[in-house]
Amino acid sequence: MTVTSSLPSQNVIGFPVTAVPFEAQVQQVIRWAQGGLSKVVCVANVHMLVEASWDQSLANILHGADLVTPDGMPLVWMVRLLRKTQQERVAGMDLMQAVCQQASEQGLSVYFLGSEQRVLDQMRYRLQREFPQLQVAGMDPLPMLSFPLTVDTEVVEKVNQSGASIVFVALGCPKQEKWMAAYHNQIQAVMLGVGGVFPLYAGLQQRAPEFIRSSGLEWLYRLVQEPRRLWKRYSKTIPPFIWLATKQLLQRPVPQRPIFTAPESGVDIITKELATSGRPLRR
């Protein structure tokens, strides 16, 4: 079975971001999974796009990805401004839960790769509670990665033999994107890089309340929780994104306003009619 897709995307600081509603992106993942296709789904935020502007290999991966969801609110705002549409946020946590729900209904099995065993164990309890019909093909922390990546045939065989149609990969950016690119067409499943979602779903970290997430301040909420790990990342990536996004917005072509032409008066219309009829004009 062959499944094709031509989802519209929006250039955001030089990288394509899929510009369709949340549900459409979820359904596309499910269609690919039903077709047994090997696909790469990147869940993009400010950090990922700025890293890609410095890392050509990551940039190539984003340009070649099958889906690049707008996870961070700044990306959502950029898509809205540039396309004049009400783009929805497609965050990693929401995407994983929605895909699991659809997978359980459609009889598709899922695999979870990355993080730590204790995190995966906690996730298993919640998955069984929230999605009792979900077929979990496997849950494995990956061994320490070294770059350049080489494909581990044991991992490929284990995932493929499990029958998983969907694989959630949690290694953090840019490791997970490079891992998925290396295993593309090796693992016969839709691979979704979901970053730090596993500890959140396991309940080991607290997710920001909805009003904070929608206001674009989730990064600050996370910074308070993990200042040592995130301070350097945010100070390194947020200012360049603001600069690049502002530059892109300012360089947009300005739409030309139509030239206003005053309507013709009755005298002008009569004069034109007389001139075309050949009759002399009386003064």
pLDDT at 1 exceeding the cut of 70: no
- Helices 92-106 and 117-130, interaxial angle, to 10°? 50
The per-residue pLDDT of the chain, averaged, comes to 89
Whole-number pLDDT of residue 4: 42
Rounded-to-integer distance, Cα 264 and Cα 131, Å: 70
Report in angstroms the alpha-carbon separations of 145 from 44, 73, 168.
Answer: 21, 30, 17
Task: Label residue 99 by pLDDT band (50, 70, 90).
Answer: very high
List Cβ neighbours of 197 (8 Å cut-off, separation of 6 or more). Answer: 92, 93, 96, 168, 170
pLDDT at 141 exceeding the cut of 60: yes
List Cβ neighbours of 241 (8 Å cut-off, separation of 6 or more). Answer: 13, 46, 49, 50, 74
pLDDT at 13 exceeding the cut of 80: yes
Number of neighbours of residue 143 by Cβ within 10 angstroms: 9
Are β-strands 39-44 and 67-70 bridged in parallel, bridged antiparallel, or unpaired? parallel
Identify the residue with better confidence: 192 or 230. 192
Identify the residue with better confidence: 206 or 45. 45
Task: Label residue 268 by pLDDT band (50, 70, 90).
Answer: low
Number of neighbours of residue 185 by Cβ within 10 angstroms: 9
